[in-house]
Structure 1
């Protein structure tokens, strides 16, 4: 019998319904997402791209209450390695998302670094490696963000290592963690992105357990990943090739990840995010139901 993972709070996100943008005709309407995520057996969700779900707090609260759903986090995108010049525009974006996140009773803000190559065209926008000065801007900027978000909104930021960003590989993630204050900045470990970039999620949890503040659960298809790496495919087209697959078909094995997280002795959200943009509207719900059943078999 699987161990009881009673400290792990499982949820899902718009991403698992093929939602990457606030408004896109290829995405399911937000009402359908809410209906289906509840039908699949989840009680926690993320807000997804700001503007996809209603941004009026009273209306969103009513829609969630109708379906017995709660919000675990909001998500923001940042380019803080570019230095103080981007702070004002970053804070404007963060403030909108953080205010709605707080209004929904959530306590976390997932922070995703900007991409170094275009997610669709593969155009190289910036070098994939940061200079020492850019690393300093990134780490100090994230610490400032963590402080300001906590002071202004009472939320904790969790930084999300992500393919095709400057926080991706094991070396980059460890450098980032070693260079930031755990009182201000912790990690959203996305098991799929970390595997995509060659990292070992269980090892990271066991080594930097005190810095793991949040989990995203997804898996990578190793065969597709090998093709993607060999062909130099950017993340968006890689998703269209099916690089992120339905568990338990891929890597990493999620049960050892969840067991390692349970051993940390703290309550953690574990939010399913199976990247599927774009996808047919009838595809997500059956996958979500099977994934929830699989996670229950792991004890979560």
Structure 2
């Protein structure tokens, strides 16, 4: 096998999937598949890594979770936390309690990262506007300084790295806002989880971001959007939840961005990176996720991953 053959070309990329690809958005919801089924199917589809998903969906007892993942040949890459740090010091204690619960479990099961998702400016179900979509200068300062504090605390107390996830309907979304956030934060404390689908949803170019801010890319979520559905979502100003229900996030390789150049740009950074498949599908029929996950894994293998 030569160094440039497809099988070895993405040797630094570690592929996984997440509960999100099985329609899981909440710790407990009757419309979601049971966690045992998720673990069985993600392993059967050919993935070796998973994320924890919403805290409480998978077992929170580290010994049990370790037993359940190990017997299926799975390992955990990251936990996920939700923050509203632009609200300032008043939300720190509540935020830290949520982060600490996730970090304790993530560290105990061998994860290296915490994916940090900013709070939504409008409700992702009802579309209710919760706050202004544009931050004030003071709110930007709170967001950047407290995210740095979060990165330091998580690093010092748990030995984990935070990776901030630009997300539709949050204040870290577009190329402009992502660049502003990165330029205002310490690279030693704050890295980026580049979600290719969310970034495209908000008009961004993932390859350009990787090439421009390569040293800040600490983690990848692999996802695509359907450009035709996205155009209607934008025209109708739909919130993210209803957009997902319409199928705006689609099965690769049917959407954008093309994942081959994204993976090649990530490989060229010369560092080990997780690339976790996430295809937002909430809610979805219980038999829908597995065939998609299997086909997606096959597609990524054809890309060399």
Q: Shorter-chain TM-score: which interval?
A: over 0.9
Structure 2: gaps spanning 5 or more residues: none
Q: Choose from 104, 117, 134 the match for 1:99.
A: 104
Q: How far did residue 260 of structure 1 move? A: 0.1
Task: Tell me how far apart the structure 2 counterparts of residues 121 and 61 of structure 1 sit (CA, whole Å).
Answer: 37
Q: How far did residue 211 of structure 1 move? A: 0.1
- Taking the TM superposition and a 5 Å limit, the aligned residue runs for 1:18-37 are 18-37=23-42
Give the secondary structure class of the aligned counterpart of 1:74: strand
Q: What residue is the counterpart of 1:240 in the other structure?
A: 245
Q: Choose from 255, 270, 276 the match for 1:250.
A: 255
Say what the alpha-carbon RMSD is for the aligned residues: 0.6
Give the secondary structure class of the aligned counterpart of 1:72: strand
Q: Choose from 67, 72, 76 the match for 1:67.
A: 72
Q: How far did residue 267 of structure 1 move? A: 0.2
Using structure 2 for the length normalisation, give the TM-score.
Answer: 0.98
Task: Tell me how far apart the structure 1 counterparts of residues 169 and 48 of structure 2 sit (CA, whole Å).
Answer: 31
Give the secondary structure class of the aligned counterpart of 1:269: strand
| Deviation sequence 1:96-151 (CA, Å, 0-9, x none) | 00000000111100000000000011110010000000000000010000000000
Q: What residue is the counterpart of 2:218 in the other structure?
A: 213
Q: How far did residue 241 of structure 1 move? A: 0.2
Task: Tell me how far apart the structure 2 counterparts of residues 168 and 270 of structure 1 sit (CA, whole Å).
Answer: 19
Task: Tell me how far apart the structure 2 counterparts of residues 110 and 250 of structure 1 sit (CA, whole Å).
Answer: 24
| Residue 92 of structure 2 is aligned to residue 87 of structure 1 | yes
Q: What residue is the counterpart of 2:122 in the other structure?
A: 117
Q: What residue is the counterpart of 2:229 in the other structure?
A: 224
Q: Choose from 55, 61, 64 the match for 2:60.
A: 55
Q: What residue is the counterpart of 2:186 in the other structure?
A: 181
Q: What residue is the counterpart of 2:291 in the other structure?
A: 286
- Taking the TM superposition and a 5 Å limit, the aligned residue runs for 1:269-284 are 269-284=274-289
| Deviation sequence 1:178-217 (CA, Å, 0-9, x none) | 0000000010000000000000000000000000000000
| Deviation sequence 1:50-77 (CA, Å, 0-9, x none) | 0000000000000001101000000000
Q: What residue is the counterpart of 2:139 in the other structure?
A: 134
Task: Tell me how far apart the structure 2 counterparts of residues 214 and 66 of structure 1 sit (CA, whole Å).
Answer: 26
Task: Tell me how far apart the structure 1 counterparts of residues 33 and 279 of structure 2 sit (CA, whole Å).
Answer: 15
Q: How far did residue 4 of structure 1 move? A: 1.4
Q: What residue is the counterpart of 2:273 in the other structure?
A: 268
Give the secondary structure class of the aligned counterpart of 1:150: helix
Using structure 1 for the length normalisation, give the TM-score.
Answer: 0.99
Task: Tell me how far apart the structure 2 counterparts of residues 28 and 140 of structure 1 sit (CA, whole Å).
Answer: 38
Runs of 4+ in structure 1 deviating by more than 2 angstroms, as ranges, are none
Structure 1: gaps spanning 5 or more residues: none
Give the secondary structure class of the aligned counterpart of 1:175: helix
Q: How far did residue 95 of structure 1 move? A: 0.2
Q: What residue is the counterpart of 2:199 in the other structure?
A: 194
Task: Tell me how far apart the structure 1 counterparts of residues 36 and 237 of structure 2 sit (CA, whole Å).
Answer: 37
Give the secondary structure class of the aligned counterpart of 2:82: strand
